[in-house]
Structure 1
Amino acid sequence: MSKNDAEARLILVEERLAFLEQQVEQLNEVILSQQQDLTNLRRKLATSEQTVERLSNSLGEDLPHEPPPHY
């Protein structure tokens, strides 16, 4: 293997490494964004569950358990 071949291979490896580092950084940004979205959705779901529970408790037994007259 000549010196030029070794240098060319080293340059190729460095280029590929730089590309892979860029890809990893982009994937990391996507994962962080998805984690924020997931956290927000979990928070909204918990709030919705609390609202449904509160409304259900406030209505209590006041709801009729028979079908409407048009049935």
Structure 2
Amino acid sequence: MADDITLSFEDALKELEGIVRTLEQGSAPLDQSIDLYQRGDALKRHCETRLKAAQARIEQISIGPDGQPNGTRPFDGD
């Protein structure tokens, strides 16, 4: 399995979708299902973190008085 820290959002989501399919099919033995569930939970948290970071970056886009984007301001992660 890929490392969550270096996994892109798209790759994490793809892996998560595969895990969900496997669990929904009920084809995995119990111990493997538990491992898959734990991996899925880690991937879900990873995706949520990546989405929140992307949302924060988008929110930093400055909007001018005319309602049009006019630049960006640095994102302060704190």
**What TM-score results when the alignment is normalised by the length of structure 2?**
0.45
Q: Report which of the two has the higher share of helix.
A: 1
Which of 1 and 2 has greater Rg?
1
Q: Report which of the two has the higher share of strand.
A: 2
